[in-house]
Amino acid sequence: MEFLTSLTLSFFAQGFLKFREEPPKYCLSLVREKGGKVQIVVFVENFYGNEVSGEQLEEYKERVINHYLIKNITDVEVFFLVLSDNMDRDRHIAESNINFWIVDMLVKRIIVFENQPDDYLGMKNLINAIFVEQDRLKKEAKIEAKRNFPFATVSLMIANALVFIIFSLIGSTGDLQFMLDHGAAYADYIINKGEVYRLVTCMFLHFGSLHLINNLISLIIVGSQLEKLIGTKWLFITYFLTGIGASIVSCFYYYFNNEQVISAGASGAIFGLIGAFAVVIFKTKPRGKFDFRYIIIIALIFYDNYATPGIDVVAHVMGFILGVVLAITLIPTKGRISFLGRKG
């Protein structure tokens, strides 16, 4: 436990060593010998399932004293510090003939019974200081965990999943006409009818569960890592700018090539994140060292391109390029299916 580790290290710094006279189970015994005086501190972890009785501690004290009597050393102090998770259970220790304190680990408080020393080797201040430091570290850890939580990534995953669930309940996400009626990208509607909203809505539509799952896997892997490096705001910006940009290029490509393509999927945006991730880790990696996160990027590119049939290579490539450009020029460092079958 962290508390006991900190306490032990503090006593080591004061010249204490581990005592060779074996203590009861779940106890740690430290000793310091100065001249003809011996000081022994025994830390007792008295938690549920491994309780040590007062009789056992008293027996150990006698054994320690006898150990030194053989050497004609009579000035021996033995002090027990009992770390407890149940004060009602451990009050019986007060009936034993030993010097001890109980530290109630649940409320982080030192319990000193009558006829016990008010302080021993400055331990009271030391214990309180450790508790204060542990509280500070816990608060910092919570703040850091909150700061590192991939809010944007998780939000985008939830949005994609919710849209898929809703549309699966009201229709078939594998039906091209249904997807077209509900916001999939189609060049003729976007260019000739001005339905530009499809450039955004298509990013949250997926043709079937496999299409969705593949994109969510890629999104959580690269998105959570990238968000730690560029922050929540820039993760959202990168996702939408590269996704919309990939949709625009894909739309015009198929329009001018006279291909009747209905597109849906988040892969354009995901490849934008992959492109940005590649640049950002290149910026932040130690000079001359290979960053193994590049392997993740390469694996994701192959996975996303080949895990689902009928991918929209144009959207993937353009999303990646836009992500690279965006990361180089702006980002501060800290899907698609056709009548033939194209997914992003």
pLDDT one-digit tens code per residue, 109-125: 999 998 899 999 999 99
Sequential pLDDT tens for the chain (344 residues) = 689 999 999 999 999 999 988 888 889 999 999 888 999 999 999 988 788 899 999 999 999 999 999 989 999 999 999 999 998 888 889 889 999 999 999 999 999 998 899 999 999 999 999 999 989 988 988 888 887 899 999 999 999 999 999 999 999 999 999 999 999 999 999 999 999 999 999 999 999 998 899 899 889 989 998 998 899 999 999 999 999 999 999 999 999 999 888 999 998 999 999 999 989 888 877 665 666 777 777 777 766 656 666 677 888 889 999 999 999 998 776 633 333 445 55
Rounded to whole angstroms, the Cα distance separating 274 from 311 reads 17
Q: What is the pLDDT of residues 201-248, one digit of tens each?
A: 999 999 999 889 989 988 998 999 899 889 999 999 999 999 999 999
CATH superfamily of 149-329: Rhomboid-like (1.20.1540.10)
Rounded to whole angstroms, the Cα distance separating 88 from 344 reads 63
Contact present, 326 and 276 (Cβ < 8 Å): yes
Give the global pTM: 0.64
Domain boundaries, the chain: 2-145, 149-329
DSSP state of 21: S
Helices (H), 91-207: 123-148, 151-170, 176-181, 187-192, 198-201
**What's the chain's length in residues?**
344
DSSP state of 344: -
Contact present, 276 and 333 (Cβ < 8 Å): no
Rounded to whole angstroms, the Cα distance separating 194 from 78 reads 86
The residue type of 231 is G
List CB contacts of 58: < 8 A, sequence separation 6 or more: 96, 97, 98
